[in-house]
Structure 1
C-alpha cells in the first residue's frame, strides 16, 4: 500500500482526555510487548549502536513504553550488556514507565516533556522512535530527522507494521475483540481503564480509529528515504530503509541513519571528484 493519508488521530489532540489516551497507550504497550513486535529489528539496532559506539538509546515519543523492555533485554543478550534506554515523550507517562523501570535493568525515563523535533543537547544517545513516526506530517518528520543529523547522533525509526490492506482489516475486526479480552490483564490495574472499555467503550472505539489512521499515515521505505535525504542534503549520514518480517508473519518497517565515519566521508569525496 503506497497511499498515505494524514488524517487526524485522537491521541494527538491536546484536549484529548488523559484517561482515554493512557488506556489506549496501555493496550498498545501490552500488545507490542506480548507479541514481541520489535524483536526482528534488534540486530539492525545493535549494528547501528556498535557503528556509532553508543550504549545509550534515547527513545522519542515513547508513549507507554510498549516493547522497549523486550528490545533492551535483547540488546543486552545480543552482545551489548551495558545497553541502556531512556524513555521520553511530549506527553510523559511516569505512571506507566515506573513499573517498567523497576522491572527492567538499564531502563530510565525523562519526566519532563521532550520535543522530538528539538531534543535538548543534555539528552544524549542513539535516538529511536517506535510506533510513532507516522504521527508527524512530512515537514515535521523531516525536521525530526534533521535534528538528529544536526547533532550528529544516530537515529532509528521503527513502525510495527508493513502497511497492508490486511492490517486495516485486522484493526477493524480481530484487534478490537482482542482488546476486550485482554484489558482485565493489563497492569498496572486502573479502574478508569475498565470503565471506559466496558461501561462506556471509548477506549476501544478511539483505538479502532487511531489504529486504522496509523496504518494510513505510515511512510513506506521509499518515502522514509526521501525524507532522510531531504533532512541530510550534504549526505553526512548513511541511511538504510526497508522491512523485516517477524517469524510469525507481520512486518516491521524501518529507517536507520548513522553519521559517516571520516573514512566513509573521504571515500565519498573521492568518488564525487572523479
Structure 2
C-alpha cells in the first residue's frame, strides 16, 4: 500500500554544519550499533546479517561472487564490515562453495573461490575508523580520498571491471538523504558505470517506521552504559542522561528519515527519469526487486531495493 504521508525532504539535525562533530560521531556509532546488534529473544538476527542474506539470496550464492561491493556512503563504517563478514561466511559454507565428500580436502581448498570484496567510500572519509575496520578483515578496503556518489571516480570502477568483476553499489541508511535532483544524478551515474545497486533502510513512511524510531530512542537510554564502556567514552553518558541530546536527536532525525524515505515505486520513477545515456532502452536492461524483512517483531524491519543489470 502507498504511504498515507507524502515524501517530505525535511532537515535532520545531525546533518547541519553547526551540530558538534563529537555528538555526530556518537550518533553514527549508535546507528552502527542499531545495524549490528543482535539481542537474543528480541531479534531474529541483526539487520546487517539480514542484508547479507538478502544479497546472497537475491544475487544467489554463486552470482554474488561476480561482484565487488562499494559502499558509497559509508560514514563511520556503518554495517558494511559486518555485512562483509556475514556474507563471506554464508557463501563459504553454501553447497556451491564445497565439493562432494569424496573430494580430498586439499583439492577443495585449491579450487575454493576467493571471498567477496567490499570497499568503503564517502564524500567525507572517516579514514581512522575505516582503517581499523579494514585491519580486522582482508576482504575490506577503503578509499581515503573524497568520493562523490554522483561522480564515481573512473579508476575506482575501471580497476574492478578490468579484473573481471561487476560493480555493485551499496546505500545503507543513506539514499533517503538525497533530494530528488541529487538522487537522479546518483542513479544516472550508477546506471552508466555499475552493474547493480542496493538501497537498505531501517525505516519507512508508516506507523511502524515512526514507532521503531521511538524504540530506538528507548534502546539508546537502556544500552548507553554498555556502549559508553565499549567505546571508552563516558562523555556519551552525559549527553544521554544529564543532557539527553543523543536520544532526542536520534528519535527526531529518525522521524525525519522516515518522512524522507522513498517507496520502491518512487525509486523506480526516479530511475526511469534519471537521464541515463540510452534512455528507456538502457533502463529496460535492469531488473528491479524489493521487499522487507522483520528483525524485531512487530516494527523492526529492513526495507530493501535491489536493481541489477540483466
Instruction: State the TM-score, normalizing by the size of structure 2.
Output: 0.75
What is the aligned length? 259
Q: Partner of 1:108 in structure 2?
A: 141
The 1:67–1:82 alpha-carbon spacing in structure 2 relative to 1, beyond 3 Å, is same
2:176 aligned residue (123, 134, 143): 134
The 1:112–1:28 alpha-carbon spacing in structure 2 relative to 1, beyond 3 Å, is same
Looking at CA atoms only, which structure, 1 or 2, has the larger radius of gyration? 2
Does the 8 A contact of 1:240 with 1:257 survive in 2?
yes
Distance 1:205 1:247 in 2: 24
* 1:223 and 2:255 correspond: no
C-alpha displacement at 1:44, in angstroms? 4.1
1:243 aligned residue (291, 296, 303): 291
Distance 1:99 1:26 in 2: 14
C-alpha displacement at 1:184, in angstroms? 2.8
* 5+ long unaligned stretches in structure 1: 261-274
Q: 1:175-226 CA deviation, whole Å, 9 max, x = no partner?
A: 2221022223224323443333233322222111111111111001111111
What pairs up with 1:1-274 in 2 under 5 angstroms? 1-3=3-5, 4-35=7-38, 36-46=46-56, 47-48=58-59, 51=63, 54-79=66-91, 81-124=114-157, 125-172=167-214, 174-186=215-227, 187-231=230-274, 232=276, 233-236=279-282, 237-246=285-294, 248-249=296-297, 250-260=300-310
Does the 8 A contact of 1:228 with 1:239 survive in 2?
no
The 1:2–1:66 alpha-carbon spacing in structure 2 relative to 1, beyond 3 Å, is farther
The 1:54–1:121 alpha-carbon spacing in structure 2 relative to 1, beyond 3 Å, is farther
Distance 2:144 2:234 in 1: 24
Distance 1:52 1:32 in 2: 21
C-alpha displacement at 1:133, in angstroms? 0.5
The 1:175–1:105 alpha-carbon spacing in structure 2 relative to 1, beyond 3 Å, is same
* 5+ long unaligned stretches in structure 2: 39-45, 93-113, 158-166
Q: 1:76-107 CA deviation, whole Å, 9 max, x = no partner?
A: 12326511211112222234333322333412
C-alpha displacement at 1:52, in angstroms? 7.8
Of residues 11-20 and 210-219 in structure 1, the stretch that sits farther from structure 2 once superposed is: 11-20
Q: 1:97-137 CA deviation, whole Å, 9 max, x = no partner?
A: 33322333412222222222111122233211101100001
Distance 2:178 2:72 in 1: 12
